[in-house]
Amino acid sequence: MLTFEELGLKPEILKAILEIGFETPTAIQQKTIPHLLNSKQDLIALAQTGSGKTAAFGLPVINQIDSNSKKTQSLVLCPTRELAIQIANDFNAYTKFSNRLDVLPVYGGASIETQIKALNRGAQIVVGTPGRVVDLIKRNKLKLEDIEWVVLDEADEMLNMGFKDDLDFILSHTPESRQTLLFSATMSKEVLRISNNYMSNPEEISSGKRNQGADKVDHFYYIVKAKDKYLALKRIADINPDIYGIIFCRTKRETQEISDQLVADGYNADCLHGDLSQAQRDAVMGRYRKKHLQMLVATDVAARGLDVNEITHVINYNIPDDLETYTHRSGRTGRAGKAGISMAIIGPRDVNKIKQLEKVLGKSFTKADVPAAEAVIEKQLMSFVDKVKSTEVDEKQMEPFIENIAAQFEDLSREDLIKKFVSVEFNKVLEYYKNSNDLNQAAKPGRDSEKGDRRRKEGNFNKLFLNIGQKDNLNAGTLLGWINGLQSVPNGIEFGKIDVQRSFTFMEVESQHEQTILDALNGSEFDGRKVAAEPKTGGGPRKSNRPEGKRHSGGGSGFKKRGGDRKPGGRARVKAGSGGRRR
C-alpha cells in the first residue's frame, strides 16, 4: 500500500493532511492522485460517497495550482450548496501550510454580489453549484479562459437533479485544453453522454464495481404490516440508542409527518424536504452536523449532496423504486473506512424488490426481526446505566449537598435505591412497551405492499398516462423528485405505483388530487421536453375533448387516439387492464 509521501505530494500539503488525521490513502486516492500528478489525461472515477474522493481530486489539483496567479485555474461543480461549502472547507484545510490559495464557494441562496466581489479579488479555485456558476458566467464575472481543471463531483446526482443543460453550458465555456475529472457513484447513460461529449479519451478508475454500494455497509430488511411501519421504526431507533441516522421517505408530507411524530414521542429528530426555506434548511443541517440531532427525516431530493461523516444508520422508510436511489441512500453511511448499516422497512409483498437489489448490487441483504419489547427495554436500560457510570462528577461542587442527600436515602437498601433510581428514568419506557405485540410478518408473493393493495381496492388511486419515459432519462425516483419540486404541486399528495416504459409512463395518484397533478404536469417541461398527461381507465386513457386523431401537445409525444386503446409511437398496443407492464 502506498503512503501519501510516496504519492508525490508537496511537503506543505503532507503536513496539512497529517494534521487533519489522514494516515494512509484510500483505494480511490491511491489510484487517482498519481494519475492526476503525472498525466493530463481526462479521468472518470467511480467512487461511493465517503470513499475519500474530495481528497482524491483536491490534493493533486492543489499540488499543481500556481499560487502566484490570481486567475481562476480550477472549477469544481457539485449538486448542492452544502457540498460546495464542505468541499471548500476541505480545500482550505489542505492548503493550511501552503502559499496563499483562495478557494471560493459560490451557490444560490446567498448574495451574488458578495460572491462577485470575492471573484474580483481573485480566487484560484472556485467550487460551485451549476445554477450559480451559470449566472456568474452570464454576468461575465466568472472567467473560465484560464481553467486547467474542471471537476464534476457527484455527476450522477447533478444530472438527476436536472442540471444537464447547465453542465453543457458551463463545459462549453471552458478551454478545450482543460483536464476534466468526473467523479460519480454510478455510471448512468447521462454520465456517459457527458463523458462522450466533453472528455477526451478518459482513463476510468474505480474503487469498486459499477453501481455497487459501499463495501462496509451491511444491509438489512424488516417485514411488517403497513400500519406497523412507524412502530417498527421506533423500535429500531430504541434498540440503537446511539443512532446517528437518516430516515428516507418518499414524499414531503410523509417526511414532515414522520418527523413530527418522532418529536412528539420524545425522539431527537427533525426533517429536511423541499418545502423548507433555505434558512430553515441551513438551521436543520447545522444542528445535524453538530450532532444536536440524532435522526434526520428526509426526501431523496432534499438530501442530495448531503455530506456528513459518521452516519451510523440509513433507514429506508419506503424502499425506493430504482437501484441508483438506493445506492445513493446507503452511501450516506459506511464512509471514510467506517462500518455502516442500511435498513429497509418493507411490506410482505416487497421481498422481490430486495432480491432485485441483491442481484444488481451483488450484496446480500439480511432479513432481520423487529426487536421484541423485552430486548428494547434491556438495551435502553443498559445504555442508561453506561451513561450514568461514565458521567464525570464534580466533587467540589457536590460536596456541600452529599450529607443531606445521603440522609434522605439512609432508610433504603442498596437494591431499593437502584430500583427507584432506574424507575425514575424507565417507568415511561416500561409502560409503553407493556403488552407490546410482535410486529414481524412473513413474506408474501406479489409486487405490491399491503398498503398499496388496500388503497387500490378501495379505489383511492387513479392512473395517469404521461408522454415521457426512459428515453427521456426518466425513472421513478427522478419523476417523483421532479413532481415534488414543481411549485404548483402542493405538499402532501401521495403517489402509488409508477411504471416507466421506454417512451411513456403510467403513474398512480390519489384520486382527489388527480386534476391538480394534471394541471401541474400539462405544459411543464422535463429535461427540455414539454410534458403531456391525461387520465387512464380501463383499456386506455379516458376520452378527452381533443379532436379525433390530433396529437397531444408537448413536442410530439407520439400517442394517437385510436378507439379505447393507445398505440405508443407505433409500438405494440397497451392491453386493457395490463397497466402497460411487460409480462
More confident residue, 545 or 390: 390
Residue 353 Cα distances to 292, 318, 342, 358, angstroms? 34, 12, 15, 9
pLDDT single digits (tens) 79-111: 888 889 889 999 999 999 987 789 999 998 889
pLDDT > 80? residue 542: no
Element counts in the chain: helices (H) and strands (E): 21, 23
What letter represents residue 301's amino acid?
A: V
Of 114-123, 194-203, 357-366, 490-499, give the range with the top mean pLDDT.
114-123
Average pLDDT on 338-354 reads 87
Is the separation of the CB atoms in 559 and 552 below 8 Å? yes
Q: Secondary structure of the chain: what % helix, strand, coil (to 5)?
A: 40, 20, 40
Q: Where are the domains of the chain?
A: 4-206, 217-372, 374-433, 459-568
Q: What is the pLDDT of residue 571?
A: 28
Q: Are 155 and 305 in contact (CB under 8 A)?
A: no
Please give the Cα distance from 335 to 333 (Å, whole number): 5
- Quick one: 279 exposed, middle or buried, by C-beta within 10 A (0-12, 13-18, 19+)? exposed
pLDDT score recorded for residue 187: 75
- 459-568 has which CATH code? 3.30.70.330
Report the topology of domain 217-372.
Rossmann fold (3.40.50)
Q: How far is CA 176 from the centre of its chain?
A: 33
Residue 18 has which C-alpha cell?
Answer: 497529517
For the chain, the distance separating the N- and C-terminal CA atoms, rounded to the nearest angstrom, is 50
Partners of 76 in beta bridges: 127, 151
The runs of H, that is alpha helices, within 391-513 are 395-409, 414-433, 450-457, 476-485
Say if residues 529 and 472 touch (Cβ distance below 8 Å): yes
CA distances from 518 to 162, 378, 461 (A): 21, 52, 14
In angstroms, rounded to a whole number, what is the distance separating the alpha carbons of residues 477 and 99? 45
Statement: residue 209 has pLDDT above 70:
no
Let me know if the fold of 217-372 is the same as that of 459-568. no
H helices of 65-161, where?
81-94, 112-121, 130-138, 155-160
Q: Does domain 4-206 have CATH number 3.40.50.300?
A: yes
What is the per-residue pLDDT across 70-79, written as a single tens digit (0 to 9) for each? 999 999 999 8
Average pLDDT over residues 280-306: 85
Highest mean pLDDT among 228-232, 345-349, 353-357: 228-232
Q: Between these two residues, 177 and 320, which has the higher pLDDT value?
A: 177
| Average pLDDT of the residues of the chain | 81
Mean pLDDT, range 112-131, rounded to an integer: 95
Among candidate residues 364, 369, 380, the one with its CA nearest the CA of residue 345: 369
* pLDDT tens digits for range 141-190: 999 999 999 999 988 888 877 888 999 999 999 999 999 999 887 777 77
Q: Kindly state the DSSP code that residue 112 receives in the 8-state scheme.
A: H
